[in-house]
Amino acid sequence: MISEERILPRPIEKEMKISYLDYSMSVIVGRALPDVRDGLKPVHRRILYALHEMGLRHNKPHRKSARVVGEVLGKYHPHGDVAVYDAMVRMAQPFSLRYCLIDGQGNFGSVDGDAPAAMRYTEVKLSKISEEMLKDIEKDTVAWRDNFDGTLKEPVVLPSILPNLLVNGSSGIAVGMATNMPPHNLGEVVDAVFVLLKNPDATTGELMNCIKGPDFPTGGIIYGRKGIVDAYSTGKGIIKVRAKIHFEDEKLVVTELPYMVSKSALLKKIAKLVRKEVITGISDLRDESDREGMRIVIQLKRDAIPEIVKNQLYKHTEMETTFGIINIALVDGEPKLLTLKQLLWEYIRHRREIIERRTKHDLRKAKERKHILEGFLKALENIETIIEIIRKSKDVGEAKDALIKKFSFSEKQAKEILALRLQSLTSMETESVKKENEEKKKEIERLSAILTKPGEIEEIIKTELQELKKKYADERRTEIVDAEGEMEIEDLIAEEEVVIIITNQGYVKRLSLDEYRAQRRGGKGLIGMKMKEDDTISNIFISSTHDYILFFSSIGKVYAIKGYQIPSGDRHSRGRAIVNIIPIEGNVKAALPVRDFSKGSLVFVTKKGIVKKTLLKAYKNIRVNGIRALNLKEGDELLGVKLLNGNEKIIVASLHGSACVFEEKEIRHMGRATAGVRGMRLREGDEVVSFEVTNEKDILTITENGYGKRTSLEDYRLTRRGAYGVRTIITNERNGNVVAVMGVSEEDEILVSSKYGMMVRIPVREIRRQRRNTMGVRIMNLKEGDKVVSITKI
C-alpha cells in the first residue's frame, strides 16, 4: 500500500503540461531529430557503434542482421527490434542514402517499393565511408555516457570526418516540429567548407557557387532554384523534383524518378489515369529496367504531342513531387533551424573540437611514452648497477623502491624497466630506444604546434577533407534547371555588354565586346566564330548578360532566356546548338535583347512583305516551350522582328534593291496570335531581306559582296504601307544582292560579319554618304566565295 507521504496532490492540467513537455523533449532529443555534428539519430549512431565494436569493418565478412540487431538491443537501444532493423535497412539502401553507411548483403528492398527480407536472411557490415565516421573514436575525441542499464559506455556523438547531415540528409517527425533535410554531393560540400574556411564572411550566394543544390541518390531534375535559395538562406524552402524523361522513336523514356517515389506504384497510377482518360496520348506502358538501370517506356499514339503527354504526367502523377526542406537539427542538445552557412559552421566547429581532442590525446600519449623512453635510456647507461640492485632485491616491490631511490625514476619508469626483457639490453635495442626517443620529441613539437599555432587545425581539416573527397566524391546525379519565368541568382553573374552570335545551322554563343577592336573601312576583319562547313552567321547583336533574349523562329514562335544562359566562348569557338538550350521549332530568324517588357512594341516582317505590330508586354510570360508570336500564311516565313519605341519610320528592303519607307503609325496594334497586314508590295522573284526601324538621319545599305553606302533618309520618299518602294542601291554583278539596311549616325560603329565567320568593326563616319541610286563603296574585303551576311550597330 502506498504511504500518504508519497502522494502529492497536483492539478491535472499542471501535471499534464509538465509531463507532456518531458515527453516531447525526450522524443526531440532521443528519437526524432539528428545531431548537427554527425547527422545521426541515436538509433543510427548505436547501430554503427555496435558494428564497430563487433569488428565488422568493410574488409571483414558480413554478419547476420539478426545478430547485429540483438547486439544493439541488448547493449544500447532497448526498444523494438523492428525499429532497429528498419533503421539499419535504410542505411544500406543506395536509393535512400546518397552515401550508404552500411554494406548489406541480401534483399534490402528496391525502388519498386519491395519490402526487405527478414533480418534472419540478410547480412551486414560497415561500409568503407562509414568507417570515416568512427575514425579516432578510441582517442578520447568524443564524450561518452552510460548505456540504459549503466553497464556499458556509448558515444554521445561520433567523430565523423564525413559531413553526414548535409551529404545524406535526414527526416523525422518530433513533437511540435519536424526535420526534412535533403542529401547533397560530397565533393560540392567539401568545396563549400573550403570557401568558408578561407572566407568566414562568405555569402550564401558564394557558397552556392559550390553547392548547386540537393543531390538525390535517385537523380531526377530539380525544377527551379527559388526553393533552394530559400532553404539555404532561411532554413526552409520547397523544391520541385521531376523525373528525367527523354523522347525516343515515338515514345517517352523515363530513366530517373524523383526521390522516394515507388516505380511500381507510379506505373499502376499511370495505367489507371490512362484508362480514365485523364492522361491521353499513351498507347502502351512497360518497365524495361534491368541491372544497367531504370528504363520506363511510355509508347505514344501516332497523333500524340510528346510535350503535352509529358506535362500531363508531371501534373497528375509522382513524375513531379515537392520536397519541403526544413533544416532543423540538435545544436548543443536543442533543436535549431539552420541555414546552409550555419550547417557548414557547425560541421567545422565539430571537426575543430575533434582534432583538438585527438591532438591532446596523442600529445599526452607521446609525452607518456617519451617519459618511459627517457627512463630506458637512463637505465641502459647504468645497466650493471640496475642488474645488481634487482639481484639483491627480495621481490619486485623492493626492486622498484630501490630503483626509484637510487636513480630518481618515476613509479611508471621503474615498473617498465623491471618489465624489460633481456633481449632489450643489446646495443641494437639501445639504438632503437634512442631513435624512438628522438621521434617522440619531434612528434611532441608537432602536436604542440597544432594546439598553439593559429590556423594549424584548419589546415588539418582541409587536408583530411581533401583526402575524403579524393576517395569518395562522385559526379552530381540530380540536374537543376530554371523554372518558367524564374531568374537565376543574378547577384552571382556580372553584368556586362556582350556580343551574341547566331548561325544559320542553329549555333549560338556570347563573347565579350572587347574581343573586337575598331578597324578602318575596307579591313579584312577578325575571325568572329569558327564555322562548321556550309554554316554561316545569320544574326549578331549587342546585349547585356542580364537582358532577356527573345528568339523568334521561322514558323512564328518565340522563346526567351537570359543573356548569361547562353554559353560563353571565344572568337575561335563554334558555340552551342540552340536546341540544347531551348526546345526551338524552325530556324532562328530574329533575336532581341529586352530589359523592360512594359514599354514599346514589336514589329514583325515576313519574306512576303507582311508586317504586324504588337505591344511588347504581350510577350512577357513566355513558356519554356515557347508561345505563338504571329500567324503565318502558307509559304511565308518570318524574316525578322524589331523593337518600336513610337513615332519612328519603318524601312523595308528587298533582295533586288528596293526600299519602302513609311511611318510606324501606318500599322495598327494587333493581338499576339494574328497574321498582320501588307507592308511592301513585291515584284516577281523578289523578296524582303531586311528591314529597319529608325529616326536616324542616314540609312546604311550593305550588299553581299561587301559594298555599301550611307544615304540621307530625306532622299527616300515616304509612302503608305503596301507600296513597291524606291531604289536604295544598285544591285549588279559587282555589288550582289542587298543583305541589310540600317539607320545610323556619324557617331555609330558597325560590326559587319561574313558567312566564313570574319568580322570587321567600322566607324560609320568612314563610310561615304551617297545618293540612293548609286553603287556604294567597298566596306569589307572578302575572300573568294565569302559573302556578307549581317551587320549590327555597336
The residues carrying an active-site annotation are 121
The β-bridge partners of 552 are: 558, 590
CA separation for the pair 310, 254 (Å, rounded): 10
CA separation for the pair 468, 620 (Å, rounded): 47
State the helix-helix crossing angle for 340-381 and 427-452, rounded to 10 degrees: 150
Rounded to 5°, the CA angle 341-346-352 comes to 125
Find the helix or strand (DSSP H, E) in which 790 lies: strand 788-793
State the helix-helix crossing angle for 42-53 and 81-90, rounded to 10 degrees: 80
Q: Which of 217, 73, 233 is nearest to 149 (CA)?
A: 73
CA separation for the pair 32, 44 (Å, rounded): 11
CA separation for the pair 777, 754 (Å, rounded): 17
Task: Report whether 105 contacts 158 (CB < 8 A).
Answer: no
CA separation for the pair 254, 247 (Å, rounded): 9
Residue 526: how many CA atoms within 13 Å on its side-chain side?
A: 15
Q: Is 301 helix (H, G, I), strand (E, B) or coil?
A: coil
Query: Which residues contact residue 772 at a Cβ distance below 8 angstroms, ignoring those fewer than 6 apart?
Result: 711, 715, 716, 726, 727, 728, 729
201 φ, ψ (degrees, to nearest 5): -95, 15
Give me the amino acid identity at 534: D
Burial 406-436 (b: 16+ CB within 10 A, else e): ebebeeebbebbbeeeeebeeeeebeebeee
CA separation for the pair 327, 236 (Å, rounded): 6
Burial of 249 (0-12, 13-18, 19+ CB in 10 A): exposed
Q: How far is CA 146 from CA 35, 50, 153, 334, 460, in A?
A: 18, 15, 5, 20, 31
Task: Report whether 713 contacts 743 (CB < 8 A).
Answer: yes
From first CA to last CA, the distance across the chain in angstroms is 99
Task: Report whether 37 contacts 350 (CB < 8 A).
Answer: yes
Q: What is the DSSP string of 395-459?
A: SHHHHHHHHHHHH---HHHHHHHHT--GGGGSHHHHHHHHHHHHHHHHHHHHHHHHHHSTTHHHH
218 φ, ψ (degrees, to nearest 5): -95, 5
Q: Which of 350, 326, 458, 323 is nearest to 36 (CA)?
A: 350
- Cell numbers describing residue 246: 527523354
Neighbours of 141 (CB within 10 A): 22
- The DSSP symbol for 473 reads -
Find the helix or strand (DSSP H, E) in which 263 lies: helix 263-275
